[in-house]
Amino acid sequence: MSKPILWIVIPCYNEEQVLPITAPMFLKKINDLSAAGLVSEKSRVLFVNDGSRDATWSLIQKFASEDDHLIGISQSRNRGHQNAVLAGLMEALHSGSCDITISIDCDGQDDINAMDEMVKKYLDGAEVVYGVRSRRDTDTFFKRFTAEGFYHVMNALGADIVFNHADYRLISTRVLESFADYREVNIFLRGMVPLVGYPSDTVYYERHERLAGESHYPLSKMLTLAFDGITSLSNKPIRLITGAGIAVSLISFIGVIWAIVQAVLGSAVAGWASTICIVCFMGGVQLVCLGVIGEYVGKIYMETKARPRYIISERTWAPYERKYHG
């Protein structure tokens, strides 16, 4: 088998502080991997600028002009991490000169040395290799607790996601070709990639602190991602609501019978407190149910519009004629 051409796909949003540190690291990794005979010399580092407002894109352009192994594409505006990774993966697929991709964040948190093992697992037959965090000590207790809870909830809801795996993974272009047919607008890569199938494997790595700059995932964005993940992959919350509705109705029914019995026995008291409690409780339950159903209706609305998930406005390379969005 000839050596595979690897593209390292790296989303960047306002990363001017960290790029000068990590870009040379990624380039060195490509060189080392090709020197070790694991990947082809034609391998590339692809930076995806996700509509940054700082000097990120001009830095990428500068790096690209200095080394042919580094290329960049820029999105017309910020579309979020998942869409930026997707844009990069599709660029690699459509280039026609890529066999495997590895997606990784640009902040140096994920250990790039795990790539060697990922490529070896690919050479041994895996088409997808998931990078799994062996430790989460660098995360705060709160992040660790909520993240682990999230994986448990996802799996309980029937979504097949790999525990403690984020978006550090190897995917072959064979898998990407099938993946390109998953046309949903709300994308949650770590839940969608396992759906494609193909043989997969895992590689454990340690997650470090960010080398510079700040996280773009505050609590609100993390919750959005978690909620999107759950509602794009599972219909179970809707079923749970139906179940909860039936349970609450049964309890209310028992309450009504109890009230009638009390009335017949003549021991009914002015039931102000219990009435208020029941009204409030029912109101709350109904609002939650409406909210969850609304979330799904909103998703249907966005999916029927089928808007492009990324729009590439600029490239540091001009390899082929093709549409600029997907």
* Residue ranges in contact with ligand UDP by CB under 6 A: 11-13, 15, 50, 78, 80-81, 84, 105-107, 109, 215-217
81 binds, among ligand UDP, Mg ion, none (CB under 5 to 8 A by kind): ligand UDP
| Residue of 109, 172, 202, 316 that binds Mg ion (CB under 5 A) | 109
Which of these segments, 107-115, 194-202, 280-288, 308-316, binds Mg ion (CB under 5 A)? 107-115
Least distance from C-beta 10 to Mg ion, angstroms? 12
Distance between CA 252 and CA 275 in Å, rounded?
11
Q: Please, which residue, 74 or 200, has the CB nearer to ligand UDP?
A: 74
Q: What angle do CA 323, 195, 289 make, to 5 degrees?
A: 100
**Residues between 229 and 258 that touch Mg ion (CB under 5 A):** none
Q: Please, which residue, 99 or 167, has the CB nearer to ligand UDP?
A: 167
Q: Please, which residue, 110 or 228, has the CB nearer to Mg ion?
A: 110
Q: Please, which residue, 34 or 82, has the CB nearer to ligand UDP?
A: 82
Does residue 111 belong to the site contacting Mg ion (CB under 5 A)? no
Q: Please, which residue, 147 or 285, has the CB nearer to ligand UDP?
A: 147
Does residue 107 belong to the site contacting Mg ion (CB under 5 A)? yes
Please count the residues of this chain forming the interface with Mg ion, following the rule CB under 5 A: 3
Least distance from C-beta 167 to ligand UDP, angstroms? 8
Which of these segments, 55-63, 106-114, 127-135, 297-305, binds Mg ion (CB under 5 A)? 106-114
Least distance from C-beta 26 to Mg ion, angstroms? 15
Distance between CA 82 and CA 308 in Å, rounded?
13
Q: Please, which residue, 219 or 244, has the CB nearer to Mg ion?
A: 219
Least distance from C-beta 140 to Mg ion, angstroms? 13
Least distance from C-beta 65 to ligand UDP, angstroms? 21
Q: Please, which residue, 125 or 218, has the CB nearer to ligand UDP?
A: 218
The 3 state secondary structure assigned to the chain is CCCCCEEEEEEECCCCCCHHHHHHHHHHHHHHHHHCCCCCCCCEEEEEECCCCCCHHHHHHHHHHHCCCEEEEEECCCCCHHHHHHHHHHHHHHHCCCCEEEECCCCCCECCCHHHHHHHHHHCCCCEEEEEEEECCCCCHHHHHHHHHHHHHHHHCCCCCCCCEEEEEEEEHHHHHHHCCCCCCCCCHHHHHHHHCCCEEEEEEEECCCCCCCCCCCHHHHHHHHHHHHHHHCCHHHHHHHHHHHHHHHHHHHHHHHHHHHHHHCCCCCCHHHHHHHHHHHHHHHHHHHHHHHHHHHHHHHHHHCCCCCEEEEECCCCCCCCCEC
Q: Which residues bind Mg ion (CB under 5 A)?
A: 105, 107, 109
